Protein backbone atom coordinates (compact mmCIF):
# COMPACT_ATOMS: atom_id res chain seq x y z
CA UNK A 1 0.00 0.00 0.00
CA UNK A 2 1.42 3.48 -0.88
CA UNK A 3 2.82 5.44 2.10
CA UNK A 4 0.45 8.33 1.38
CA UNK A 5 -2.60 6.07 1.79
CA UNK A 6 -1.15 4.54 5.00
CA UNK A 7 -0.73 8.06 6.37
CA UNK A 8 -4.32 8.99 5.43
CA UNK A 9 -5.59 5.87 7.23
CA UNK A 10 -3.59 6.74 10.33
CA UNK A 11 -4.78 10.37 10.23
CA UNK A 12 -8.48 9.79 9.48
CA UNK A 13 -9.12 6.17 10.49
CA UNK A 14 -10.15 3.04 8.55
CA UNK A 15 -13.84 3.96 8.54
CA UNK A 16 -13.08 7.06 6.52
CA UNK A 17 -10.20 5.80 4.37
CA UNK A 18 -10.95 2.37 2.91
CA UNK A 19 -9.01 0.06 0.60
CA UNK A 20 -9.02 -3.54 -0.67
CA UNK A 21 -12.23 -5.53 -0.55
CA UNK A 22 -14.42 -2.45 -0.03
CA UNK A 23 -13.41 -1.22 -3.47
CA UNK A 24 -13.96 -4.57 -5.16
CA UNK A 25 -17.50 -4.69 -3.72
CA UNK A 26 -18.43 -1.26 -5.06
CA UNK A 27 -19.79 -0.99 -8.62
CA UNK A 28 -18.16 1.57 -10.91
CA UNK A 29 -21.54 3.14 -11.72
CA UNK A 30 -25.24 2.59 -12.37
CA UNK A 31 -24.23 1.63 -15.91
CA UNK A 32 -21.15 -0.47 -15.15
CA UNK A 33 -21.18 -3.25 -12.53
CA UNK A 34 -17.39 -3.81 -12.59
CA UNK A 35 -15.60 -2.75 -9.37
CA UNK A 36 -14.28 0.79 -9.05
CA UNK A 37 -10.58 1.25 -9.74
CA UNK A 38 -8.80 3.49 -7.19
CA UNK A 39 -5.97 3.64 -4.65
CA UNK A 40 -8.53 4.21 -1.90
CA UNK A 41 -12.09 5.20 -1.18
CA UNK A 42 -12.49 8.11 1.22
CA UNK A 43 -15.82 8.72 2.92
CA UNK A 44 -15.61 11.93 4.97
CA UNK A 45 -18.27 12.64 7.59
CA UNK A 46 -17.98 16.43 7.78
CA UNK A 47 -16.98 19.43 5.70
CA UNK A 48 -14.07 20.08 8.06
CA UNK A 49 -12.76 16.53 7.61
CA UNK A 50 -13.11 16.77 3.84
CA UNK A 51 -11.21 20.06 3.91
CA UNK A 52 -8.25 18.46 5.74
CA UNK A 53 -8.26 15.48 3.35
CA UNK A 54 -8.27 17.72 0.28
CA UNK A 55 -5.43 19.85 1.65
CA UNK A 56 -3.28 16.75 2.08
CA UNK A 57 -4.16 15.42 -1.39
CA UNK A 58 -3.44 18.81 -2.96
CA UNK A 59 -0.06 19.07 -1.24
CA UNK A 60 0.78 15.55 -2.47
CA UNK A 61 -0.56 16.20 -6.01
CA UNK A 62 -2.95 13.28 -5.51
CA UNK A 63 -5.73 13.19 -8.12
CA UNK A 64 -9.30 12.73 -6.94
CA UNK A 65 -12.67 11.86 -8.38
CA UNK A 66 -15.86 12.65 -6.47
CA UNK A 67 -18.65 10.09 -6.28
CA UNK A 68 -22.29 10.87 -5.53
CA UNK A 69 -24.91 8.28 -6.50
CA UNK A 70 -22.98 7.29 -9.68
CA UNK A 71 -26.01 7.64 -11.95
CA UNK A 72 -24.37 10.28 -14.15
CA UNK A 73 -24.56 9.72 -17.89
CA UNK A 74 -21.36 11.41 -19.14
CA UNK A 75 -18.65 9.21 -17.58
CA UNK A 76 -17.67 12.13 -15.33
CA UNK A 77 -17.05 9.96 -12.25
CA UNK A 78 -14.85 7.32 -13.92
CA UNK A 79 -11.71 6.49 -11.93
CA UNK A 80 -8.40 4.70 -12.57
CA UNK A 81 -5.97 2.99 -10.15
CA UNK A 82 -4.19 6.38 -9.89
CA UNK A 83 -7.23 8.12 -8.37
CA UNK A 84 -8.53 8.43 -4.86
CA UNK A 85 -12.33 8.29 -4.85
CA UNK A 86 -14.08 10.65 -2.45
CA UNK A 87 -17.66 9.59 -1.79
CA UNK A 88 -20.26 11.83 -0.15
CA UNK A 89 -22.33 8.85 1.04
CA UNK A 90 -21.67 9.54 4.76
CA UNK A 91 -22.64 13.20 4.41
CA UNK A 92 -26.33 12.64 3.79
CA UNK A 93 -28.24 14.42 6.54
CA UNK A 94 -31.15 16.76 6.10
CA UNK A 95 -30.06 19.51 8.46
CA UNK A 96 -33.01 21.87 8.58
CA UNK A 97 -36.39 22.65 7.09
CA UNK A 98 -37.22 26.33 7.46
CA UNK A 99 -41.00 26.30 7.29
CA UNK A 100 -41.33 30.06 7.41
CA UNK A 101 -38.83 30.80 4.66
CA UNK A 102 -39.66 27.63 2.68
CA UNK A 103 -36.12 26.27 2.41
CA UNK A 104 -34.31 23.04 3.19
CA UNK A 105 -30.64 22.63 4.12
CA UNK A 106 -29.25 19.33 2.87
CA UNK A 107 -25.87 17.60 2.91
CA UNK A 108 -24.53 16.64 -0.50
CA UNK A 109 -24.84 12.85 -0.14
CA UNK A 110 -28.60 12.87 0.57
CA UNK A 111 -30.57 10.83 -1.98
CA UNK A 112 -32.99 12.90 -4.09
CA UNK A 113 -36.01 10.67 -3.34
CA UNK A 114 -35.39 10.94 0.43
CA UNK A 115 -35.34 14.72 0.10
CA UNK A 116 -38.56 14.70 -1.96
CA UNK A 117 -40.30 12.52 0.64
CA UNK A 118 -39.09 14.54 3.64
CA UNK A 119 -40.19 17.75 1.99
CA UNK A 120 -43.66 16.28 1.21
CA UNK A 121 -44.04 15.09 4.83
CA UNK A 122 -43.49 18.70 5.88
CA UNK A 123 -46.17 20.07 3.55
CA UNK A 124 -43.89 21.38 0.78
CA UNK A 125 -42.85 20.25 -2.68
CA UNK A 126 -39.37 19.87 -4.16
CA UNK A 127 -39.86 19.76 -7.92
CA UNK A 128 -36.54 18.32 -9.13
CA UNK A 129 -37.48 14.85 -10.39
CA UNK A 130 -35.75 12.31 -12.61
CA UNK A 131 -35.78 8.59 -13.24
CA UNK A 132 -32.65 8.08 -11.09
CA UNK A 133 -34.37 9.67 -8.03
CA UNK A 134 -33.80 6.57 -5.85
CA UNK A 135 -29.99 6.64 -6.27
CA UNK A 136 -28.78 10.08 -7.33
CA UNK A 137 -27.59 12.56 -4.69
CA UNK A 138 -28.31 16.23 -4.13
CA UNK A 139 -24.58 16.98 -4.53
CA UNK A 140 -24.53 15.10 -7.86
CA UNK A 141 -27.70 16.92 -8.94
CA UNK A 142 -25.99 20.24 -8.20
CA UNK A 143 -22.68 19.22 -9.79
CA UNK A 144 -24.47 18.21 -13.01
CA UNK A 145 -27.18 20.91 -12.85
CA UNK A 146 -29.72 18.10 -13.28
CA UNK A 147 -32.92 18.66 -15.24
CA UNK A 148 -35.63 16.01 -15.46
CA UNK A 149 -39.35 15.99 -15.99
CA UNK A 150 -40.53 19.20 -14.27
CA UNK A 151 -38.10 21.67 -15.83
CA UNK A 152 -40.78 23.06 -18.13
CA UNK A 153 -42.45 24.61 -15.06
CA UNK A 154 -39.81 24.85 -12.33
CA UNK A 155 -36.43 25.00 -14.06
CA UNK A 156 -33.23 22.95 -13.54
CA UNK A 157 -31.32 22.32 -10.29
CA UNK A 158 -29.67 25.74 -10.66
CA UNK A 159 -33.09 27.39 -10.31
CA UNK A 160 -33.75 25.70 -6.96
CA UNK A 161 -30.44 26.40 -5.20
CA UNK A 162 -30.25 29.45 -2.96
CA UNK A 163 -27.11 28.57 -1.03
CA UNK A 164 -24.19 26.20 -1.41
CA UNK A 165 -21.03 25.14 0.43
CA UNK A 166 -18.05 23.65 -1.36
CA UNK A 167 -14.47 22.72 -0.56
CA UNK A 168 -11.79 23.82 -3.01
CA UNK A 169 -8.86 21.63 -4.04
CA UNK A 170 -6.56 23.25 -1.42
CA UNK A 171 -9.07 22.63 1.37
CA UNK A 172 -10.51 26.16 1.50
CA UNK A 173 -14.17 26.03 2.51
CA UNK A 174 -16.38 28.37 0.50
CA UNK A 175 -19.59 28.70 2.44
CA UNK A 176 -22.27 30.61 0.51
CA UNK A 177 -25.15 29.23 2.56
CA UNK A 178 -27.54 31.95 1.49
CA UNK A 179 -31.26 31.47 2.24
CA UNK A 180 -32.89 34.32 0.39
CA UNK A 181 -33.81 34.82 -3.24
CA UNK A 182 -32.21 38.25 -3.48
CA UNK A 183 -28.50 38.61 -2.75
CA UNK A 184 -26.54 40.75 -5.18
CA UNK A 185 -23.54 41.32 -2.92
CA UNK A 186 -20.83 40.67 -5.48
CA UNK A 187 -20.41 37.57 -7.63
CA UNK A 188 -22.87 34.71 -7.12
CA UNK A 189 -20.14 32.18 -6.32
CA UNK A 190 -22.43 29.16 -5.96
CA UNK A 191 -23.03 29.29 -9.71
CA UNK A 192 -19.37 28.34 -10.28
CA UNK A 193 -19.93 24.92 -8.74
CA UNK A 194 -23.39 24.18 -10.17
CA UNK A 195 -22.90 22.17 -13.36
CA UNK A 196 -19.10 22.07 -12.95
CA UNK A 197 -19.06 18.24 -12.75
CA UNK A 198 -16.79 18.13 -9.72
CA UNK A 199 -13.94 19.98 -11.45
CA UNK A 200 -13.90 23.19 -9.37
CA UNK A 201 -14.70 21.98 -5.85
CA UNK A 202 -16.56 19.34 -3.87
CA UNK A 203 -20.07 20.43 -2.92
CA UNK A 204 -20.84 19.58 0.71
CA UNK A 205 -24.17 21.28 1.49
CA UNK A 206 -26.91 23.12 -0.34
CA UNK A 207 -29.93 25.19 0.60
CA UNK A 208 -32.79 24.79 -1.82
CA UNK A 209 -35.98 26.76 -2.18
CA UNK A 210 -39.17 24.77 -1.67
CA UNK A 211 -42.43 25.14 -3.55
CA UNK A 212 -45.91 24.99 -2.05
CA UNK A 213 -47.33 21.48 -2.00
CA UNK A 214 -49.65 20.84 -4.91
CA UNK A 215 -53.12 19.51 -4.10
CA UNK A 216 -54.09 18.11 -7.46
CA UNK A 217 -52.37 16.20 -10.24
CA UNK A 218 -53.82 15.35 -13.65
CA UNK A 219 -51.97 13.12 -16.09
CA UNK A 220 -52.69 11.93 -19.62
CA UNK A 221 -50.90 9.77 -22.15
CA UNK A 222 -51.97 10.72 -25.67
CA UNK A 223 -51.29 9.38 -29.17
CA UNK A 224 -50.61 11.82 -32.01
CA UNK A 225 -50.26 11.58 -35.74
CA UNK A 226 -47.34 13.85 -36.55
CA UNK A 227 -44.72 16.17 -35.05
CA UNK A 228 -46.67 19.34 -35.91
CA UNK A 229 -49.44 18.01 -33.67
CA UNK A 230 -46.88 17.38 -30.89
CA UNK A 231 -45.86 21.06 -30.95
CA UNK A 232 -49.46 22.26 -31.46
CA UNK A 233 -50.56 20.21 -28.43
CA UNK A 234 -47.66 21.64 -26.37
CA UNK A 235 -48.73 25.19 -27.18
CA UNK A 236 -52.37 24.34 -26.54
CA UNK A 237 -51.51 22.87 -23.11
CA UNK A 238 -49.37 25.90 -22.23
CA UNK A 239 -52.03 28.40 -23.25
CA UNK A 240 -55.04 26.60 -21.79
CA UNK A 241 -53.64 25.26 -18.51
CA UNK A 242 -51.34 28.21 -17.77
CA UNK A 243 -48.86 27.74 -14.97
CA UNK A 244 -50.30 24.30 -14.12
CA UNK A 245 -48.36 22.51 -16.90
CA UNK A 246 -45.62 20.55 -15.08
CA UNK A 247 -44.53 17.88 -17.56
CA UNK A 248 -44.67 17.35 -21.31
CA UNK A 249 -42.69 14.28 -22.34
CA UNK A 250 -42.65 13.09 -25.93
CA UNK A 251 -41.90 9.55 -27.13
CA UNK A 252 -41.37 8.69 -30.77
CA UNK A 253 -43.49 5.71 -31.90
CA UNK A 254 -40.55 3.32 -32.28
CA UNK A 255 -39.50 3.98 -28.64
CA UNK A 256 -43.05 3.29 -27.38
CA UNK A 257 -43.24 0.09 -29.41
CA UNK A 258 -39.83 -1.12 -28.20
CA UNK A 259 -40.59 -0.67 -24.48
CA UNK A 260 -44.10 -2.19 -24.76
CA UNK A 261 -43.33 -5.26 -26.89
CA UNK A 262 -44.01 -8.73 -25.53
CA UNK A 263 -41.10 -8.60 -23.06
CA UNK A 264 -41.72 -5.01 -22.00
CA UNK A 265 -44.33 -2.95 -20.18
CA UNK A 266 -48.08 -3.31 -20.68
CA UNK A 267 -49.02 -0.65 -23.27
CA UNK A 268 -51.51 1.80 -21.70
CA UNK A 269 -52.50 2.96 -25.22
CA UNK A 270 -52.60 1.28 -28.64
CA UNK A 271 -49.08 0.84 -30.09
CA UNK A 272 -49.90 2.22 -33.56
CA UNK A 273 -49.32 5.99 -33.15
CA UNK A 274 -46.27 7.78 -34.60
CA UNK A 275 -45.88 9.95 -31.45
CA UNK A 276 -46.92 9.75 -27.80
CA UNK A 277 -46.94 12.44 -25.13
CA UNK A 278 -47.27 12.17 -21.35
CA UNK A 279 -48.51 15.47 -20.03
CA UNK A 280 -49.12 16.40 -16.43
CA UNK A 281 -50.64 19.39 -14.67
CA UNK A 282 -50.52 20.13 -10.97
CA UNK A 283 -52.35 22.80 -9.04
CA UNK A 284 -54.03 23.84 -5.84
CA UNK A 285 -57.74 23.23 -6.54
CA UNK A 286 -58.55 19.62 -7.38
CA UNK A 287 -62.01 20.29 -8.83
CA UNK A 288 -61.33 23.29 -11.04
CA UNK A 289 -57.88 21.99 -12.08
CA UNK A 290 -59.44 18.76 -13.31
CA UNK A 291 -62.11 20.64 -15.27
CA UNK A 292 -59.48 22.79 -16.96
CA UNK A 293 -57.34 19.73 -17.79
CA UNK A 294 -60.23 17.70 -19.21
CA UNK A 295 -61.60 20.64 -21.22
CA UNK A 296 -58.13 21.27 -22.64
CA UNK A 297 -57.84 17.62 -23.73
CA UNK A 298 -61.36 17.69 -25.12
CA UNK A 299 -60.56 20.71 -27.26
CA UNK A 300 -57.43 18.96 -28.56
CA UNK A 301 -59.60 15.98 -29.57
CA UNK A 302 -62.17 18.19 -31.28
CA UNK A 303 -59.40 19.94 -33.21
CA UNK A 304 -57.97 16.50 -34.14
CA UNK A 305 -54.59 17.32 -32.62
CA UNK A 306 -54.83 14.31 -30.32
CA UNK A 307 -56.05 10.94 -31.66
CA UNK A 308 -56.40 8.91 -28.46
CA UNK A 309 -55.77 9.32 -24.73
CA UNK A 310 -55.52 7.45 -21.45
CA UNK A 311 -56.26 9.34 -18.24
CA UNK A 312 -55.07 7.42 -15.15
CA UNK A 313 -57.69 7.17 -12.40
CA UNK A 314 -55.35 6.18 -9.55
CA UNK A 315 -51.73 6.63 -8.50
CA UNK A 316 -51.07 3.05 -9.59
CA UNK A 317 -52.47 3.75 -13.07
CA UNK A 318 -50.42 6.95 -13.21
CA UNK A 319 -47.27 4.95 -12.45
CA UNK A 320 -48.14 2.44 -15.20
CA UNK A 321 -48.17 5.37 -17.64
CA UNK A 322 -44.90 6.91 -16.41
CA UNK A 323 -43.08 3.54 -16.42
CA UNK A 324 -43.32 3.55 -20.21
CA UNK A 325 -41.31 6.79 -20.29
CA UNK A 326 -38.89 6.02 -17.46
CA UNK A 327 -38.44 2.25 -17.77
CA UNK A 328 -36.38 1.87 -20.92
CA UNK A 329 -34.56 -1.28 -19.72
CA UNK A 330 -35.88 -3.29 -22.72
CA UNK A 331 -33.88 -0.92 -24.98
CA UNK A 332 -30.82 -0.94 -22.72
CA UNK A 333 -30.51 -4.68 -23.39
CA UNK A 334 -29.11 -3.78 -26.84
CA UNK A 335 -25.36 -4.01 -27.07
CA UNK A 336 -23.74 -1.79 -28.16
CA UNK A 337 -26.00 1.13 -27.29
CA UNK A 338 -25.03 4.81 -27.44
CA UNK A 339 -27.06 7.28 -25.35
CA UNK A 340 -27.39 10.96 -26.20
CA UNK A 341 -28.76 14.06 -24.49
CA UNK A 342 -28.91 16.97 -26.94
CA UNK A 343 -30.76 20.27 -27.04
CA UNK A 344 -31.92 22.26 -30.04
CA UNK A 345 -34.69 24.67 -30.99
CA UNK A 346 -38.04 22.86 -31.24
CA UNK A 347 -38.58 24.10 -34.80
CA UNK A 348 -35.60 21.99 -36.00
CA UNK A 349 -36.42 18.81 -34.07
CA UNK A 350 -38.45 16.92 -36.63
CA UNK A 351 -36.02 17.31 -39.52
CA UNK A 352 -33.01 16.79 -37.22
CA UNK A 353 -34.36 13.46 -35.93
CA UNK A 354 -35.41 12.34 -39.43
CA UNK A 355 -31.88 13.04 -40.71
CA UNK A 356 -30.18 11.33 -37.76
CA UNK A 357 -32.41 8.26 -38.02
CA UNK A 358 -31.77 8.06 -41.76
CA UNK A 359 -28.01 8.45 -41.22
CA UNK A 360 -27.98 5.70 -38.59
CA UNK A 361 -30.01 3.32 -40.74
CA UNK A 362 -27.90 3.95 -43.84
CA UNK A 363 -24.70 3.36 -41.86
CA UNK A 364 -25.88 0.18 -40.11
CA UNK A 365 -28.76 -1.55 -41.89
CA UNK A 366 -31.12 -2.96 -39.26
CA UNK A 367 -30.07 -0.34 -36.70
CA UNK A 368 -32.53 1.63 -34.59
CA UNK A 369 -32.50 5.13 -33.14
CA UNK A 370 -35.10 5.54 -30.39
CA UNK A 371 -36.06 9.04 -29.28
CA UNK A 372 -37.70 10.54 -26.21
CA UNK A 373 -37.51 14.04 -24.84
CA UNK A 374 -38.46 16.89 -22.61
CA UNK A 375 -39.40 18.85 -25.70
CA UNK A 376 -40.71 21.94 -23.94
CA UNK A 377 -37.11 22.39 -22.75
CA UNK A 378 -35.70 21.76 -26.24
CA UNK A 379 -34.14 18.52 -24.96
CA UNK A 380 -34.09 15.16 -26.75
CA UNK A 381 -32.58 11.85 -25.65
CA UNK A 382 -31.51 9.48 -28.43
CA UNK A 383 -30.63 5.81 -28.00
CA UNK A 384 -28.65 4.53 -30.96
CA UNK A 385 -28.56 0.74 -31.32
CA UNK A 386 -26.48 -0.39 -34.33
CA UNK A 387 -27.75 -3.97 -33.64
CA UNK A 388 -24.30 -5.33 -34.58
CA UNK A 389 -20.65 -4.50 -33.90
CA UNK A 390 -19.14 -3.07 -30.73
CA UNK A 391 -18.04 0.10 -28.89
CA UNK A 392 -15.76 1.01 -31.81
CA UNK A 393 -18.87 2.31 -33.62
CA UNK A 394 -19.38 5.04 -30.99
CA UNK A 395 -17.30 7.65 -32.85
CA UNK A 396 -19.27 7.24 -36.07
CA UNK A 397 -22.54 7.42 -34.15
CA UNK A 398 -21.35 10.65 -32.43
CA UNK A 399 -20.63 12.20 -35.82
CA UNK A 400 -24.14 11.43 -37.05
CA UNK A 401 -25.85 12.70 -33.89
CA UNK A 402 -23.66 15.69 -32.96
CA UNK A 403 -22.53 16.74 -36.45
CA UNK A 404 -25.69 18.66 -37.47
CA UNK A 405 -26.20 20.46 -34.11
CA UNK A 406 -23.80 23.36 -34.62
CA UNK A 407 -25.61 24.84 -37.60
CA UNK A 408 -29.00 24.73 -35.89
CA UNK A 409 -27.94 26.26 -32.57
CA UNK A 410 -27.95 22.99 -30.63
CA UNK A 411 -25.87 21.67 -27.74
CA UNK A 412 -24.19 18.26 -27.27
CA UNK A 413 -25.33 18.29 -23.64
CA UNK A 414 -28.74 19.45 -22.48
CA UNK A 415 -28.62 18.12 -18.92
CA UNK A 416 -26.04 15.34 -18.47
CA UNK A 417 -22.84 17.40 -18.78
CA UNK A 418 -19.68 16.81 -20.81
CA UNK A 419 -17.80 14.41 -18.52
CA UNK A 420 -15.13 12.29 -20.14
CA UNK A 421 -17.49 11.23 -22.88
CA UNK A 422 -18.19 14.38 -24.88
CA UNK A 423 -14.94 16.34 -24.52
CA UNK A 424 -14.10 16.10 -28.19
CA UNK A 425 -17.40 17.82 -28.99
CA UNK A 426 -17.28 20.70 -26.49
CA UNK A 427 -16.06 23.16 -29.11
CA UNK A 428 -19.03 22.20 -31.26
CA UNK A 429 -21.32 24.21 -28.99
CA UNK A 430 -18.98 26.50 -27.01
CA UNK A 431 -16.71 29.17 -28.53
CA UNK A 432 -12.91 29.18 -28.04
CA UNK A 433 -13.20 32.24 -25.78
CA UNK A 434 -15.80 30.48 -23.62
CA UNK A 435 -13.55 27.41 -23.32
CA UNK A 436 -10.53 29.61 -22.49
CA UNK A 437 -12.44 31.29 -19.66
CA UNK A 438 -13.55 27.86 -18.36
CA UNK A 439 -9.90 26.74 -18.37
CA UNK A 440 -8.75 29.87 -16.49
CA UNK A 441 -11.41 29.30 -13.83
CA UNK A 442 -10.17 25.73 -13.46
CA UNK A 443 -6.56 26.94 -13.23
CA UNK A 444 -7.48 29.52 -10.56
CA UNK A 445 -9.52 27.21 -8.35
CA UNK A 446 -7.56 23.99 -8.85
CA UNK A 447 -4.02 24.94 -10.01
CA UNK A 448 -2.64 21.44 -9.42
CA UNK A 449 -5.49 19.89 -11.44
CA UNK A 450 -6.39 17.32 -8.80
CA UNK A 451 -10.21 17.48 -8.96
CA UNK A 452 -11.73 15.23 -11.65
CA UNK A 453 -8.81 15.98 -14.00
CA UNK A 454 -9.68 15.52 -17.66
CA UNK A 455 -13.40 15.95 -17.13
CA UNK A 456 -14.99 18.57 -19.48
CA UNK A 457 -11.63 19.41 -21.19
User: Where do contacts with ligand FAD occur on this chain (CB under 6 A)?
Assistant: 30, 65-73, 76-77, 88, 108, 130-132, 136-137, 139-141, 143-144, 146-148, 197-198, 202-203, 415-416, 452, 455
Strand partners, 280: 219, 247
Shortest Å, Cβ 88 to ligand FAD: 5
The residue among 69 and 378 lying less far from ligand FAD, judged by its C-beta, is: 69
In the complex with ligand FAD, the residue whose CB is nearer, 139 or 359, is: 139
Of 197 and 398, nearer to ligand FAD (C-beta) is 197
Question: Between vectors from CA 281 to CA 279 and to CA 287, what angle results, nearest 5°?
Answer: 130
Q: Supply the minimum distance, in Å, between the C-beta of residue 365 and ligand FAD.
A: 30
CB of 270 to ligand FAD, least distance (A): 26
* Closest distance of CB 10 from ligand FAD, Å: 26
**How far is Cα of residue 222 from the mean position of the Cα atoms in its chain?**
25
Nearer to ligand FAD, 88 or 397 (CB): 88
For ligand FAD, give the closer residue by CB, 161 or 292: 161
Nearer to ligand FAD, 150 or 296 (CB): 150
Query: 399 - beta bridge partners?
Result: none
> Closest residue to ligand FAD, Cβ-based?
140
- Between β-strands 368-374 and 379-385, what pairing exists: parallel, antiparallel or unpaired? antiparallel
Rounded Cα distance between 129 and 146, Å, is: 9
Q: What is the DSSP letter of 432?
A: H
- Min dist. Cβ of residue 129 to ligand FAD (A): 8
**H-type helices in 190-285, by residue range?**
190-193, 227-241, 253-259
CA-nearest of 139, 148, 152 to 196 is 139
Question: How far apart (Å, rounded) are the C-alpha atoms in residues 84 and 64?
Answer: 5
- Cβ-based neighbour number of residue 33 at 10 Å: 8
The per-residue DSSP string of 15-37 comes to TTEE-THHHHTSBS-SS--SBPP
Cα 279 to chain center, whole Å? 19
CB of 198 to ligand FAD, least distance (A): 3
- How far are the Cα atoms of 12, 13, 14, 403 from residue 7, in angstroms, in the given order? 9, 10, 11, 49
Shortest Å distance, C-beta 311 to ligand FAD: 24
163, 190 in Cβ contact below 8 A?
yes
Indicate the residue among 76 and 309 with the shorter CB distance to ligand FAD.
76
For CA atoms 45, 48, 54, 57, give the dihedral sign: negative
Task: Output the smallest distance, CB 193 to ligand FAD, in A.
Answer: 7
- Whichever of 236 and 416 has its CB closer to ligand FAD, that residue is 416
Amino acid sequence: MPEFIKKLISDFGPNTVQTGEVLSNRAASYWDPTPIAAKALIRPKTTAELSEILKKCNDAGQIIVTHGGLTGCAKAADSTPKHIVISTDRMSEIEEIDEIGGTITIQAGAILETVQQTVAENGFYFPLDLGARGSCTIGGNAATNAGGINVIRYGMMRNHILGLEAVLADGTIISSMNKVIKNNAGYDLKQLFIGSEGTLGIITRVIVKLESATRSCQTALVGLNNFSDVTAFLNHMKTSTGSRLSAYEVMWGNYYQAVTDKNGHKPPLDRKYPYYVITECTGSNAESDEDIFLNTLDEAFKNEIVLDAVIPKSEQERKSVWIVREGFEPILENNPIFLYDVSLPIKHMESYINNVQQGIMETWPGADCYVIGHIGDGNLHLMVCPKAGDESLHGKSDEIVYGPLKDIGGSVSAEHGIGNEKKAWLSHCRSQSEISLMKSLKQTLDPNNILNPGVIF
